[in-house]
Amino acid sequence: MITKDKLKIYKKYKGDIDVWARLNIKKEHEAIDDNDWIIIDDLIQNIKMINQGLTSNLYKESFKNKISRVINDKEDYNYFLKIVELF
């Protein structure tokens, strides 16, 4: 599950997994792992393509299903939408 706490860590490193990995801060690595990072990267890329009108309606529906499986808290989802604007 992608949570606001994981998104905050992702935002702190501006999406740069290499910096996060090199710094190797134990508390952060316990909170978020590589798979979470990849999911967040993918979600951001997907929503940016949707927002730019580069996808079909079927793709949009598929994305809605995908995001509801990984972010199911409304506050977490709203925070996700805020950070998308930064990338």
Residue 87 banded pLDDT, cuts 50, 70, 90: confident
Q: Which domain holds residue 40?
A: 4-84
Per-residue pLDDT, 3: 97
What tens digit of pLDDT does each residue of 31-75 get? 999 999 999 999 999 999 999 999 999 999 999 999 999 999 999
Nearest to 7 by CA among 66, 85, 86, 76: 76
Q: Which amino acid is at 7?
A: L
pTM of the model: 0.93
> How many distinct structural domains can be found in the chain?
1
Give the residue-averaged pLDDT of 82-87: 91
What tens digit of pLDDT does each residue of 18-30 get? 999 999 999 999 9
**What is the Cβ-side half-sphere exposure of residue 61, based on CA atoms within 13 angstroms?**
3
Q: What is the rounded CA–CA span in Å between residue 25 and residue 66?
A: 29
Q: Dihedrals φ, ψ of 14, to 5°? A: 50, 35
